[in-house]
Amino acid sequence: MSSFKYDEEKPSSGKKKLKELLLKSDNRICADCSAPDPKWASANIGVFICLKCSGVHRSLGTHISKVLSVTLDEWTDDEIDAMVEVGGNSYANAIYEAFLPQGCSKPNPDSSHEERASFIRSKYELQEFLKPSLRIVSSKSSFQSCDSGKVSCSGSDSFKSSAGMIEFIGILKVKVIKGTNLAIRDMLSSDPYVVLTIGQQRAQTAVIKSNLNPIWNEELKLSVPREYGPLQLQVFDHDMLSADDIMGEAEVDLQPMITAAMAFGDPDLLADMPIGKWLKSHDNALLKDSTINIVDGKIKQEVSLKLQNVESGEIDLELEWIPLNQ
């Protein structure tokens, strides 16, 4: 990667990052009304939106939403970095719609201006669908406060119970670094890629051709629900002609990191130091003890895994935990 440094410093490269982000599948529809092919963005919120919704965003004022055209406007590097940092519509919506009641439907591409405006104001200006503890200082009783949002969420007179809503407590960034000595699934080699799953969410790396020691250095993001289980990791061999073959799997216990993060509080206020450890044991996939560290105000954990249910293979990851409940 470092050989491309020159390219990264060209002025056009920021725009390229923005285009790449826009091409991700969740950014191919408007974050607010699901209209296809959004060409606008709220640079401070970090969402891609359609023309109609951009009009509503603009009416909220730039202190709430700073609307820019993806194609026409000049973006500063900071604005682009902020978009990339949020990671796109699904991550932003995991926050801004974390408590979207099931009975409250989002606007659609043909919704009236009033319906659209009411939803967008509720979502970003009044922040009615945020986790309650983000709105008011930490209250665990989840949902009563959303009753007050009834008025503004047009088209829904009755709310279903909070059952079925997913409350996210944080975002897990997983840098898939490399694989070592992976299993052979084709004649001589394999075309491996890594799939990560938490609950209903799934993310995957690129396929690396004919390589048993692939280096991905690819960052994936997943939202973590309150009732989280382990992070499931699977390695597959990409096969053009038949179904992809599995090349092993492993589980990552997220509890040591998340409980340490909760215990220590805001990582920005902490010096670099270890705050916890996930210990290697005979019933987990760790190759060695995995320490949770504060590094530059971030909660990080390096994890080396021995793939299970396969003849060979190791995977190195770097996790970062971004809590949403501060």
Question: CA 193 to CA 218: how far, in whole Å?
Answer: 11
Segment near Zn ion (CB under 5 A); pick from 29-37, 144-152, 261-269, 314-322: 29-37
User: Is 30 one of the binding residues for Zn ion (CB under 5 A)?
Assistant: yes
| Ranges within 223-282 binding Zn ion (CB under 5 A) | none
User: Is 32 one of the binding residues for Zn ion (CB under 5 A)?
Assistant: yes
Question: CA 14 to CA 78: how far, in whole Å?
Answer: 9
What are φ and ψ of residue 236, in 5° steps? -125, 155
For residue 309, how many other CB atoms are within 10 A of its CB?
A: 10
235 beta partners: 194
Closer to Zn ion by CB, 96 or 278: give it.
96
Question: Locate tokens 């309150």: which residue?
Answer: 226
Smallest gap from residue 167 Cβ to Zn ion (A):
25
| Ranges within 279-318 binding Zn ion (CB under 5 A) | none
Smallest gap from residue 64 Cβ to Zn ion (A):
16
Closer to Zn ion by CB, 55 or 230: give it.
55
Closer to Zn ion by CB, 30 or 182: give it.
30
Question: CA 4 to CA 15: how far, in whole Å?
Answer: 16
Smallest gap from residue 117 Cβ to Zn ion (A):
11
Closer to Zn ion by CB, 47 or 233: give it.
47
User: Is 117 one of the binding residues for Zn ion (CB under 5 A)?
Assistant: no
Smallest gap from residue 65 Cβ to Zn ion (A):
13
DSSP notation for 111-175: --HHHHHHHHIIIIIS-TTS-HHHHTT---S-SGGGGGGGTTSTT-SSPPPSTT---EEEEEEEE
End-to-end CA distance of the chain: 35
Question: CA 220 to CA 236: how far, in whole Å?
Answer: 16
Question: Locate tokens 């604005």: which residue?
Answer: 79
Question: CA 326 to CA 213: how far, in whole Å?
Answer: 39
Smallest gap from residue 62 Cβ to Zn ion (A):
19
Closer to Zn ion by CB, 53 or 146: give it.
53
Smallest gap from residue 38 Cβ to Zn ion (A):
7
Smallest gap from residue 32 Cβ to Zn ion (A):
5
Give burial (CB, 10 Å; 0-12/13-18/19+) of 266.
exposed
User: Is 169 one of the binding residues for Zn ion (CB under 5 A)?
Assistant: no
Residues 6+ apart with CB under 8 A from 9: none
Closer to Zn ion by CB, 59 or 133: give it.
59
| Ranges within 34-63 binding Zn ion (CB under 5 A) | 35, 50, 53
Smallest gap from residue 123 Cβ to Zn ion (A):
12
Number of residues that bind Zn ion (CB under 5 A): 6
Smallest gap from residue 52 Cβ to Zn ion (A):
5
Beginning with the edge strand found earlier in the chain, give each strand of the sheet holding 47-49 in spatial order. Answer: 47-49, 40-42, 67-69
Segment near Zn ion (CB under 5 A); pick from 27-35, 93-101, 153-161, 204-212: 27-35
For Zn ion, the binding residue among 18, 22, 29, 33 (CB under 5 A) is 33
Closer to Zn ion by CB, 50 or 235: give it.
50
Closer to Zn ion by CB, 40 or 278: give it.
40
Closer to Zn ion by CB, 33 or 80: give it.
33
Give burial (CB, 10 Å; 0-12/13-18/19+) of 189.
middle
Interface residues toward Zn ion, by CB under 5 A: 30, 32-33, 35, 50, 53
